[in-house]
Structure 1
Amino acid sequence: MFEEGQLYSAVTTEDDGTVRVHLADNHPGLHDDAYLRRRGEIAATALAYRAGEPLPTIDYTDAEHDIWRTVCAELAPKHERHAHPEFLAGKVALGLPTDHVPQLAEVTERLLPLTGWSYTAAPGLVPLRDFYGDLGRRTFNSTQYLRHGSQPLYTPEPDILHEVVGHGNQLASPRFAAVTEAAGAASLRLETDEALKFVADVFWFSMEFGVMSDGDDLKAYGAGILSSYGELDEFGGMEIRPLDLVDMGTLNYDITAYQPVLFRADSVAHLEDVVGQFFATVDDDLAARLRAQAGASV
């Protein structure tokens, strides 16, 4: 099941106003004081941001731009081989820069005329209801920090590369954007935490880690796969199951490892008919019935 607090490093504010980011024990930047200070500075910028204000601008360092360039260069040929054509079309339309880290305002400027979506700044974890509520308003909460420079092709948590290269290119597809918006709109109808978790887990196995047939080939469309250098090489060898809402909404999984079970849509239309329609119609009763079906089958 999805646990929101596991995805992001905790952020706290000290009595003197200093913002601290508490990295996990497996984070490559855990003992790098300069990296920790930098993460705190970027998180503080997001914490100080208020809706309606201009999006905060980060003065990225040459080293941070180098990380962005490295990851974009390494992902590009993998996208050509493994990304679904719908994602690739969105990527071309959005035209993200590959030579520098874009500001969130720049991403919004490119994305807004394509699908009506915009970005907002987040220090890290955003409460589940707030995150999905914003999706229902076509707003994506994004971190602004980059992964540690010692391992540019690895991150144990979502960073701006995941949020923008993964989700931004995905949101540039009107069809994928509509499914994402439907998930957010569903959260505004749901009253129970259990129902919201069910929707979040279906979202995890679709818009985050979804795969899709493209003729005889298996392609990725999930942002989590398409922003992961390593996972792009591995996803084809995982256990691939057909779309199954009960299974997707209740399957236990480890977010710190490559996903061993993935769910395949036959086409974009199939994704829309099954997952998109579920998001468009789910209420607390339906989510409870689907959860009960999983329990009854055990």
Structure 2
Amino acid sequence: MAEALADKNRYAHAPRNADWTIDQDWASYTPEEHDRWNRLFARQARVLPGRACDAFLAAKQKLELSRAGIPDFAELSERLARLTGWRVVPVAGLIPDDAFFDHLANRRFPAGAFIRPERELDYLSEPDVFHDVFGHVPLLADPVYAEFLEAYGKGGQRALRRGQLHNLARLYWYTVEFGLLATPAGLRIFGAGILSSPGESVFSLEDSSPNRIAFDLERIMRTKYIISDYQQTYFVVESFEQLLAECYQDFGALYDDLRAQPDIEAHALCAGDRVLTQGDQHYFRARGMAAE
């Protein structure tokens, strides 16, 4: 098992600091690893124009993310810090929740430093450097979004103390990872899980299967999600300003209310939903996933 993990993640056994960060050791990446980044980058560069939100596309240029190999986190952090004060810190993979929230609360984004193996080029179950840096980091150059994610980190520390992290995790999932943004030109993607996936970049906007529902904080915190496939429901925010305004608060009373509320299945529609698109769920039925 340890050998298999090391084969997949070159940093699996790297020495960790107290905050779970590691040495990226950028010079040790192989030409094959840089080429893998380049091909993933090129693929998304073809898919995302007209689908990704303007803030993401603009920030990608400002941060000088390109196809020229895996970014050096130290150099990328210098460019990002000049814009919003955020930095990118390398980690081996998923880290404990308390460490994750502490990094976010202090404007440090913990990014997996390994790149997916060739055999998992199209789908990876855990975040790697392409998902974390290409998908997440560009929007940290947007001042409003950057403030939202810092606030999320601080909120995560409180959710841990209350034992209600599962509710807050759903907010992260349906916004930071799989959020859509309403624009005058139509829906656009801002969630990193979509931005780093060629299939879901198209599916989330153009397929008739999923529901697309206007952002509702309590609704999101009650809604289950799918980890291993496309989402049955996407939530749509009007702007990053809306996201910050609705989430920059003490969730104490909301958490109290949520304790008495049942969870909502990922495919379900509820009374009170502002439904932008009611999905026909055909993709999910074909995979045995959608309840009638």
TM bucket, shorter chain:
0.7 to 0.9
Structure 1's 254 and 243: CA in aligned 2 closer, same or farther, altered over 3 A? same
Aligned match for 2:7, one of 21, 27, 37: 37
Please list every run of 5 or more consecutive structure 1 residues that lacks an aligned counterpart in the other structure: 1-11, 13-19, 24-35
Structure 1 segment 275-290 matched on structure 2, within 5 A: 278=247, 280-290=248-258
Structure 1's 191 and 145: CA in aligned 2 closer, same or farther, altered over 3 A? closer
Structure 1's 65 and 272: CA in aligned 2 closer, same or farther, altered over 3 A? same
How much has 1:93 moved relative to structure 2? 1.4
**Amino acid aligned to 2:240:** V
**Amino acid aligned to 2:34:** H
Say if 1:195 and 1:284, in contact at 8 Å, map to a contact too.
Answer: no
Aligned match for 1:201, one of 167, 170, 179: 170
**Amino acid aligned to 2:255:** A
| Partners of 1:235 and 1:195 in 2: CA distance | 28
Say if 1:117 and 1:140, in contact at 8 Å, map to a contact too.
Answer: yes
| Partners of 1:172 and 1:68 in 2: CA distance | 21
Structure 1 segment 79-98 matched on structure 2, within 5 A: 79-98=48-67
How much has 1:253 moved relative to structure 2? 1.7
Is 1:113 aligned with 2:85? no
Structure 1's 61 and 173: CA in aligned 2 closer, same or farther, altered over 3 A? same
* Other-structure match for 1:251: 223
> Secondary structure at the residue paired with 1:232?
helix
| Partners of 1:256 and 1:53 in 2: CA distance | 27
More helix by proportion, 1 or 2? 1
* Other-structure match for 2:286: none
* Other-structure match for 2:284: none
Structure 1's 295 and 233: CA in aligned 2 closer, same or farther, altered over 3 A? closer
Q: Which has the higher contact order (CA 8 A, sep 6+)?
A: 1
* Other-structure match for 2:267: none
How much has 1:50 moved relative to structure 2? 5.3
| Partners of 2:3 and 2:182 in 1: CA distance | 40
Aligned match for 2:236, one of 235, 240, 264: 264
* Other-structure match for 1:213: 182
| Partners of 1:101 and 1:112 in 2: CA distance | 19
Is 1:67 aligned with 2:39? no
Structure 1's 38 and 22: CA in aligned 2 closer, same or farther, altered over 3 A? closer
Say if 1:116 and 1:138, in contact at 8 Å, map to a contact too.
Answer: yes
| Partners of 1:126 and 1:54 in 2: CA distance | 11
Structure 1 segment 232-243 matched on structure 2, within 5 A: 232-236=201-205, 237=207, 238-243=210-215
Please list every run of 5 or more consecutive structure 2 residues that lacks an aligned counterpart in the other structure: 265-269, 272-292
* Other-structure match for 1:158: 127
**Amino acid aligned to 2:148:** V
Structure 1's 98 and 194: CA in aligned 2 closer, same or farther, altered over 3 A? same
Could you tell me the TM-score, scaled by structure 1's length? 0.79
Say if 1:240 and 1:262, in contact at 8 Å, map to a contact too.
Answer: yes
* Other-structure match for 1:135: 104
| Partners of 1:228 and 1:250 in 2: CA distance | 25
**Amino acid aligned to 2:244:** E
Q: List per-residue Cα deviations over 1:207-249 (Å, max 9, x = no partner).
A: 1110011114110011111111111010013210111112211
Structure 1's 189 and 147: CA in aligned 2 closer, same or farther, altered over 3 A? same
Q: Percent identity?
A: 31
Say if 2:90 and 2:113, in contact at 8 Å, map to a contact too.
Answer: yes
Structure 1's 214 and 291: CA in aligned 2 closer, same or farther, altered over 3 A? farther
Say if 2:112 and 2:129, in contact at 8 Å, map to a contact too.
Answer: yes
Is 1:231 aligned with 2:203? no
Structure 1's 109 and 295: CA in aligned 2 closer, same or farther, altered over 3 A? closer
User: What is the number of equivalent residue pairs in this alignment?
Assistant: 262
Could you tell me the TM-score, scaled by structure 2's length? 0.81
Structure 1's 54 and 245: CA in aligned 2 closer, same or farther, altered over 3 A? closer
* Other-structure match for 1:99: 68
How much has 1:151 moved relative to structure 2? 4.4
